[in-house]
Amino acid sequence: MEGSVAEWVNLVVRWFHVVAGIMWIGQTFLFNRLESRLAAAARRGGARPSVWLVHSGGFYVVEKETSPATLPPSLFWFKWESALTWMSGFVLLLVVYYSGGLLVGGPEASTGRAIAVGLGVLVGGWVVYDGLCRSPLGRTPAAMAVVGFAMIVATGFLLTRFLSGRAAYIHVGGMFGTIMAANVWMRILPPQRRMIAATAKGEPFDQSLAAGAKRRSKHNTFLAVPATFIMISNHFPTATYGNHYAVPILGALILVGWAAAALIRRG
């Protein structure tokens, strides 16, 4: 790709990716914080717990309906932000790494192996994560966090055998983004559709559907912060992917990201 054209494509796709990501992650954290505030209001008692917000010169009152008798004429969905973030991120991955000469590296490097491992991690990361969530381990958050962390660090080490350090880091971030987008489209939206269909028929819906979607949304908040850390890391090679201790540093960034996400959720 001719130099100036490639640079413009990189710039436009990167801008689109960042803006879509801001919208998606911001909404994810907003709704998770509303959940925690509404739960706290419910514990304090009252017939209809609510949260009051003030923003842009107005007051907003938020209530949660767990079993509405009817649906309003307009129901707003929050889904396209995740799809657009993932798609633009994948295009950016192709432009910068797969066609930009930054993919291959490591002692067992070859272009074919690097491509297979890179794409395999994006798909396999979701398959393994989803399997863990659906297993008995998924019902114990602390145990799943420990096992998940160990597997993430092992994945980071595997990637450094085939990919450049920069590409290894970005593929871990891409794996997080893929898990988050798949959570939205495969584990959050389908239960919501079933809940809406049941409500439209005047039937009660299975509350476990709501609980499962809420759990996956919570996971997304804990993936978003370290994913952002990792995406930014390509600007600081000496401190991160270019360091002799690149994989331990990657693990530390993930732990710091999880801690930051916990603080943001509690705020």
Checking if the pLDDT of 93 tops 80, the result is yes
Crossing angle for the helix pair 141-162 and 111-134, to the nearest 10 degrees: 170
69: containing domain:
3-43+50-266
Per-residue pLDDT reduced to its tens digit, 94-146: 999 998 888 999 888 899 999 999 999 999 999 999 999 999 999 899 999 99
Residues 6+ apart with CB under 8 A from 4: none
Per-residue pLDDT reduced to its tens digit, 4-38: 887 888 899 999 999 999 999 999 888 888 888 88
Q: Round to whole Å and give the CA distance between 256 and 250.
A: 10
The DSSP symbol for 65 reads -
Element (H, E) at 205: none
Q: Round to whole Å and give the CA distance between 82 and 60.
A: 25
Q: Structure tokens of 205? A: 């819906």
Q: Round to whole Å and give the CA distance between 150 and 132.
A: 13
Cβ atoms of 240 and 249 closer than 8 Å: yes
Q: What single letter denotes the amino acid at residue 118?
A: G
Bridge partner list, 50: 63
Q: Round to whole Å and give the CA distance between 241 and 235.
A: 10
Is the pTM of the predicted complex or chain greater than 0.85?
A: yes
Q: Report the domain count for the chain.
A: 1
Q: How sure is the predictor about 47, in pLDDT bands with cuts at 50, 70 and 90? A: low
Checking if the pLDDT of 267 tops 70, the result is no
Q: How sure is the predictor about 81, in pLDDT bands with cuts at 50, 70 and 90? A: very high
Alpha carbon dihedral 217, 222, 228, 231, in 10-degree steps, equals -100
Q: How sure is the predictor about 39, in pLDDT bands with cuts at 50, 70 and 90? A: confident
Q: How sure is the predictor about 206, in pLDDT bands with cuts at 50, 70 and 90? A: confident
Residues 148-157, mean pLDDT to the nearest whole number: 97
**Number of other CB atoms surrounding residue 44 within 10 Å:** 7
Alpha carbon dihedral 262, 252, 164, 125, in 10-degree steps, equals -50
pLDDT value for 259: 95
